[in-house]
Amino acid sequence: MNQTEILKLTEYLRNKFENPNINLKLSKSDSEMAEVYINSEFMGTLYRDEDEGEVSYDFNMSIIDIDLK
């Protein structure tokens, strides 16, 4: 994943969720992953997948039961 993709994905997520506080940071350990934040709170990970020339992105967010109260 490169900086151009990060900028495009950030804009997409901000528009999709109507939240200008969404930010993405490239992972230091995995070049195909970015970390998703709202303000300074970590929300999940975004993975890049390329298969037969087609690129897709997978957003993963874990929700633990104590957060549901």
User: Residue 50 falls within a domain, yes or no?
Assistant: yes
- Considering the domain boundaries, does residue 39 fall inside one? yes
Q: How far is CA 24 from CA 4, 15, 65, 68, in A?
A: 12, 14, 25, 24
For the chain, the domain total comes to 1
Which tens digit of pLDDT belongs to each residue from 1-42?
899 999 999 999 999 999 999 999 998 888 899 999 999 999
pTM comes to 0.87
Task: Give the Cα separation of 6 and 37 in Å (integer).
Answer: 13
The Cα–Cα gap between 46 and 14 comes to 14
With contact defined as beta carbons under 8 Å apart, do 5 and 23 qualify? no
Instruction: Check residue 35 and give its pLDDT.
Output: 96
Torsion angle of C-alpha atoms 53, 57, 58, 59, degrees rounded to 10: 170
Whether residue 69 is contained in a domain is answered as no
Domain that holds residue 39: 3-63
Query: What pLDDT, in 10s, does the model give residues 7-17?
Result: 999 999 999 99
